[in-house]
Amino acid sequence: MTEPLTHIGKSFQRIDGVDKVTGRARFAPDLRFDHMLHAGLIRSPHAHARVLRIDTASALQLPGVKAVSTIFEVPKVIQYWFFLRTEKKKKEIFLYDDIVRFIGDPVLAIAAVDEKTLEHALSLVRVDYEPLAAIHDPEKALTETGVCLHKKGNIAFRVEKAFGNVEQGFKAADIIVENTYHTSKQKHASLEPIATCIANFESSGKLTVHSSTQLPHWSQHYLAEIMGLPLNRVRVIKPFTGGAFGGRCGLIHGLEAMCSVLSKKTLRPVRMSFSREEDFCATESRHPMIIRMKTGVSRDGVLVANEAEILSDTGAYGTHYIGVLADCLSTGVGLYAIPNYKFSGTAVYTNTSMAGALRGYGNPQMNFAQESQMDILADKLGMDPLALRVKNYRKAGEMDPVLNERILSNGLEECLEKGAAASGWEEKRSRKLQPEFISDGSIKKSPIKKGIGLSIMLHGTGAARALPDPGSAFLMINSDGTVNLHTAAADEGQGSRTVLAQVAAEILGVEFESISVSETDTDITPLDCGTHGSRQAYCGGLTVRDAALDAKKKMLTHAGNVLKVKPDALKIEKGLIFETAHPANAISIKDLMQRLQIQDMGLCTQIMGSASGIAPAMPGYYGAVFAEVEVNTETGEIKVVKLTSAFDVGKAINPEMVKGQIVGGGVMGIGFALTEGLIRKDGHILNPGFTDYRLLRSCDAPPVEAIIVESNEPTGPFGAKGIGEGCMVNVASAIANAVFHATGVRLTNLCMTPEAVLKGLKP
């Protein structure tokens, strides 16, 4: 595109903004249907047990109780969509058995005419369990032989990869550091509790499910398999969604499948909605990891070897454990050009709620280890941590050894430069940061110590090299030149519908307001992998671009007939199609469409455009975060004063929305660093609510300065690549490095608590 862009790089307001601020947007919990039944779950009080007997007789005798479904008939979903590829693998996605594996694991569901009857009915159910020994510690899962969570053992997955020769690498190193890092069991903690579903199985044999899935088409595929239905009989509709962050990357444990079976039994719509406590205790979380990392560097600051050994706790069942470890691998190995790298990862089962996908998908854990290591090395080298990064990061033109793909764009150096300038890195890093104050007439040292730290990250856009990752779009041009765009690029609140409308408007040469974007509905919107992997601006943008180009080509052919020139002699600007050489020879899109569709009765043709396919690459996007902290050496409290986050997004299609992502990711990253972790004891979750699971409130959040760097990814739509996940990935590591700068205390466990700071400060 050499033309000046009219719609790309402009911060249009989000198309669902008015609906949301006026409260008219309908989220899943808002939906009600005629004759709807209410369903709820009986959950296991045991961390590990066999269900011997379920007695629902009394419950079923209660007037208004309509049906029961149990784990004897409804499977658990224990894999992700990579397993959809073959008939054999597809079977492995589902587990039918009589074992419950964590406190909160669903045992059965009841559907009743109202919530009161439901509650009463649930209280009448008796379940007999045979308690089994439980494993709460992932390291014990490796060694414990007497307790086995799954048939194949307690190890869900193991991966080993080696690049170069790590042993020789370490021999060549002048400095080697080795540390073990622990990360927390973070929750998505989206504004809307993560699980509400209304399933409606009709007598015609069609199942319609309203659920806020990020992956409408894969949810459809899972449900088709579970219910034994063809895909044209399973319709998944995604309502407005109050945040997702990976928590809706598949079916929700115990939700859609139970509802669908209950609906099939009753031929009525069945609604189930988890409470916030159920959300915290019984839906997926981030994988807590233990990462041992050994890193070697030469005296002049060149990384020569790295070894990472990861133990990932996937909880009672798996879904994304393979992908999450794969992401640790690709982001860990990809970021720095280290010639010798040995990576091993093991995912184990424990008797706790499942881990799954959460923004960053393994990368925040890996980055915390890697970027802490870098800071430690810089300190030992007496080198500016920034310079150490610049020296070692993998630059554009180099090959990514994991993806086996050449890096075509990498704006990391610009991110570091701009972030350093905006954060005052050089000055703050060098001067004495500890403030002094006057008390009793004398100058005293404050207990507050100030510090600044930085970290960088790489995250892949989409999953073209890793998973089936289709994207599709379809659009129709109306007789007044406005456009209806159909895409299943599920918008979970990130604003992708707005971005995709901008792409369509840019290509078609119409106003932004002329583009309407459909709801996400598998009956209507063509196959799309959905929202995951920071993919929608890039993958969604590519397919919308191509669908619009398809329509544009047809439009220009018709315009050429009218204007009596060849289509390639034409241009579109601001809704006008004209001959480039003779701009007066022109027709507006509106007039052309009116003519095609209505006026010329010999044509009566609507222009449609479609595109479907996989993205040509999985480009990395990059970012540098500079965290400024104040650590109270008396209380141990860490206060983040400011984040400066510079991210290379290729091209910001909607700069304000990119900044919104960066700010939001920054705040979520601070939570991951300092406060957000489920506290567990003997399989119980001790903080299942916002009182004790502390999200940053707006008054807790520091300013986040968002800086956009544009490296122009050549495979992307108008140069764009991802942003959604990466902006939270390296916040915790930057904070840890800032705390070290302020206090000399190196914290290797997340969350970083005041207790840990105080412990570190002790001589």
In angstroms, give the least distance from the CB of 525 to a copy of itself. 9
In angstroms, give the least distance from the CB of 66 to a copy of itself. 16
Q: Does 561 bind a copy of itself (CB under 8 A)?
A: no
The alpha helices in 465-508, defined as continuous H runs, are: 496-508
- Toward a copy of itself, which CB reaches closer, 45 or 613? 613
In angstroms, give the least distance from the CB of 267 to a copy of itself. 8
- Toward a copy of itself, which CB reaches closer, 551 or 708? 551
Q: Does 482 bind a copy of itself (CB under 8 A)?
A: yes
In angstroms, give the least distance from the CB of 745 to a copy of itself. 46
- Toward a copy of itself, which CB reaches closer, 485 or 704? 485
Sole residue written with tokens 């402009």:
10
3-state secondary structure of 103: coil
Q: What per-residue string of b and e applies to 138-152 under the rule 16 or more CB within 10 Å gives b?
A: beebeebeebbbbee
Q: Which of 58, 123, 232, 557 binds a copy of itself (CB under 8 A)?
A: 232
Q: Which of 1, 3, 5, 19 binds a copy of itself (CB under 8 A)?
A: 19
In angstroms, give the least distance from the CB of 491 to a copy of itself. 15
- Toward a copy of itself, which CB reaches closer, 374 or 615? 615
Q: How far is Cα 213 from Cα 81, in angstroms, rounded to an integer? A: 13
Q: How far is Cα 411 from Cα 726, in angstroms, rounded to an integer? A: 14
Q: Does 610 bind a copy of itself (CB under 8 A)?
A: yes
- Toward a copy of itself, which CB reaches closer, 191 or 604? 604
The neighbouring-strand residues paired with 517 are 485
In angstroms, give the least distance from the CB of 478 to a copy of itself. 4
Site string for a copy of itself, 173-212 (x = CB under 8 A): -----------------------------xxxxx------
Q: Does 34 bind a copy of itself (CB under 8 A)?
A: yes
In angstroms, give the least distance from the CB of 606 to a copy of itself. 4
Q: Does 474 bind a copy of itself (CB under 8 A)?
A: yes
3-state secondary structure of 97: coil
Site string for a copy of itself, 82-121 (x = CB under 8 A): --xxx-----------------------------------
Q: Does 486 bind a copy of itself (CB under 8 A)?
A: yes
Q: Which of 613, 655, 702, 754 binds a copy of itself (CB under 8 A)?
A: 613
Q: Does 479 bind a copy of itself (CB under 8 A)?
A: yes
Site string for a copy of itself, 516-535 (x = CB under 8 A): x-x----xx-xx-x------
In angstroms, give the least distance from the CB of 358 to a copy of itself. 24
The alpha helices in 31-127, defined as continuous H runs, are: 57-61, 87-92, 115-124
Q: Which of 159, 302, 422, 608 binds a copy of itself (CB under 8 A)?
A: 608
Q: Does 480 bind a copy of itself (CB under 8 A)?
A: yes
Sole residue written with tokens 């992700």:
80
Q: Which of 120, 140, 233, 292 binds a copy of itself (CB under 8 A)?
A: 233
Nearest residue to 245 (alpha-carbon basis) of 518, 517, 490: 490
In angstroms, give the least distance from the CB of 523 to a copy of itself. 6
Q: Torsion angle of alpha carbons 322, 324, 325, 328, nearest 10°?
A: 160
Site string for a copy of itself, 495-514 (x = CB under 8 A): ------------------xx
In angstroms, give the least distance from the CB of 468 to a copy of itself. 4
Q: Torsion angle of alpha carbons 626, 631, 636, 640, nearest 10°?
A: -40
Q: How far is Cα 245 from Cα 320, in angstroms, rounded to an integer? A: 14
Report how far apart, in Å, the C-alpha atoms of 740 and of each of 368, 747, 753 are.
14, 8, 14
As a whole number of Å, the end-to-end CA separation of the chain is 61
Q: Does 470 bind a copy of itself (CB under 8 A)?
A: yes
**Contact present, 420 and 456 (Cβ < 8 Å):** no
Q: How far is Cα 566 from Cα 213, in angstroms, rounded to an integer? A: 46
- Toward a copy of itself, which CB reaches closer, 447 or 468? 468
DSSP string covering 431-468, please? S----EEEETTEEEE-SEEEEEEEEEEEEE-S-TTTS-
In angstroms, give the least distance from the CB of 548 to a copy of itself. 14
Sequence-ordered list of residues with C-beta below 8 angstroms from that of 196, at least 6 positions apart, any chain = 27, 28, 29, 31, 211, 212, 271, 272, 273, 274
The length of the chain is: 763
Q: Does 585 bind a copy of itself (CB under 8 A)?
A: no
Q: How far is Cα 755 from Cα 763, in angstroms, rounded to an integer? A: 14
444-450-452 Cα angle (round to 5): 160
- Toward a copy of itself, which CB reaches closer, 33 or 147? 33
**Contact present, 250 and 211 (Cβ < 8 Å):** no
Main-chain dihedrals φ then ψ at residue 437, nearest 5 degrees: -145, 165
Q: Does 749 bind a copy of itself (CB under 8 A)?
A: no
3-state secondary structure of 146: coil
Q: How far is Cα 510 from Cα 484, in angstroms, rounded to an integer? A: 12
Q: Which stretch binds a copy of itself (CB under 8 A): 110-118, 419-427, 610-618, 627-635?
A: 610-618
- Toward a copy of itself, which CB reaches closer, 92 or 480? 480
The alpha helices in 39-148, defined as continuous H runs, are: 57-61, 87-92, 115-124, 138-143
Q: Which residues bind a copy of itself (CB under 8 A)?
A: 15-16, 18-19, 22, 24, 32, 34, 81, 84-86, 202-206, 221, 224, 230-233, 464-465, 467-472, 474, 476, 478-480, 482-484, 486, 513-516, 518, 523-524, 526-527, 529, 597-599, 601-608, 610, 612-614
